Structure 1
Amino acid sequence: MAVSQTADTEELMTCLRIQLYHPEPQNIFSSLPMDNRLKQEAEDPVRLGRAAEACPFVLNDTKVSRKQLALMAFRVPGSTEMRFHVQNLSRKGRLQVNGIELRHLVGAELPDKALIRFGRYEMLVLREPGDSETHFEVLFERRIVAPSQEMGEGEARTVPVMESEDVTLSWREPINEPSESDEYQNC
């Protein structure tokens, strides 16, 4: 087959693979476009939740918030690489990213491989790099086995799920740990 010398070069888009797990075999994922790559504009967040009017990607579960979470694309200054940020949109529900809890409207930059948990859901989010500046692809896949179970339950809570050497998360809001002081402590 001959290749046209005048045809446009095909763009390789970054793909955000979202592997979903829930322990009950309900039709929770029936509204999601499973196993189909969808082209998404980079400035439009991937929002998941139960309310179709607020979230283009719906989870059919009354225990999920109307707006549960958003995955947003961004670029680091001076880089052509598309990265992703997750934000907890739920006022009541807690969201964990690689074992670190995010409260309402708190967000974190995602590494190339991240385990996101909320309620009884687990999402293994994988970023496949590409070179498009305006779009990326989203691919929803169902997992039969929980990602945390494959990794070992204790490991999933304490160790980030990563293959890259950079194991830090960039926080948009600092998490302040409570500090204790002993006013009678001898110096």
Structure 2
Amino acid sequence: MMSMPETLETEEDLLTFLHIKFYHPQQACKGLYNLLPLGTRTRHCADDLLRLGRDTQACTYSLADPRVSRKQLAINAYRTPHSTNLLFSIQNLSQRGRLSVNGSSLNYLERMDLPDKALIRFGEYEMLIIRESGEAKASFEVDLEVLPVPPSRETCTVMPGRAPVMDTGLMYQSTAGLGEEGSQETDETLICYS
């Protein structure tokens, strides 16, 4: 009787799972996500790039928004020699817009490793990507959903050597008459993930 090599992926292997959650301030009235398979787990080969953009032919997932680049970003699965986990990197494919990952900006064709939880921004979009590790090496699953509120309200960014700061996406502006620091309000009910 022939035995199957243990390195082959079986149906019982737990797949790495990417939760990708979208938010746009005008999502309720624009139909931006009509082309996405929301609420459905889709399986992908680990050696294929996941592309997101406006072009339905060139992209794995497409947004129905003329302000999104034809190819906006790519997510690439990879492994390192010292880890059994399937890891991911993200690359900015847009020549006209920046992409930020947890507050770090990426220009055209720049790439960055994705942490287990990442807040991605491009244009007015916010994407929260959460990775759940699995055992399978040849494929992974993706689930897409739309959030009713910006994920930046629920997450915060920790910069090396600094205390956690809520990541609101708004730039600080000093207001005359409020002193040097300006007025600052916080919501103590927010949970900070590092």
Q: Map of 1:148-187 to 2, 5 A cutoff?
A: 148-151=152-155, 155-156=166-167, 163=193
Q: How many residues align?
A: 155
User: Aligned residue for 1:28?
Assistant: 32
Give 5+ residue unaligned stretches, structure 1: 1-7, 165-187
- The 3-state SS of whatever aligns with 1:116 is strand
Query: How far is 1:9 from its partner?
Result: 6.0
Q: Which residue of 2 aligns with 1:15?
A: 17
Task: Return the offset for 1:147.
Answer: 0.8
What are the ranges of 5 or more consecutive residues in structure 2 without an aligned counterpart?
1-9, 158-164, 171-190
Q: In structure 1, the residue corresponding to 2:154 is in which secondary structure? A: helix
With normalisation by structure 1, the TM-score equals 0.78
Contact 1:122 1:146 in 2 (8 A): yes
The answer to whether 1:109 aligns with 2:113 is yes
DSSP 3-state at the match of 1:91: coil
Give the whole-Å Cα distance in 2 for the aligned partners of 1:121 and 1:10. Answer: 36
Residue 97 of structure 2 is aligned to residue 86 of structure 1: no
Taking the aligned partners of 2:77 and 2:149, their CA distance within structure 1 comes to: 28
Would the aligned equivalents of 1:74 and 1:84 in 2 still touch at CA under 8 Å?
Answer: yes
- Shift >3 Å, 4+ stretches: 151-154, 161-164
- For the 8 Å contact 2:155–2:192, the answer to whether it is kept is no
TM-score computed with the length of structure 2 as normaliser = 0.75
Task: Deviation per CA, 1:46-95: give whole Å up to 9, x if none.
Answer: 10000111102100000000000001100011211000000000000110
What displacement does 1:155 show?
Answer: 2.1
RMSD: 2.1
Q: Secondary structure at the match of 1:148?
A: helix
Mapping for residues 24-173 of structure 1, pairs under 5 Å: 24=26, 25=28, 26-151=30-155, 155-156=166-167, 163=193
* Percent identity for Structure 1 against Structure 2: 47
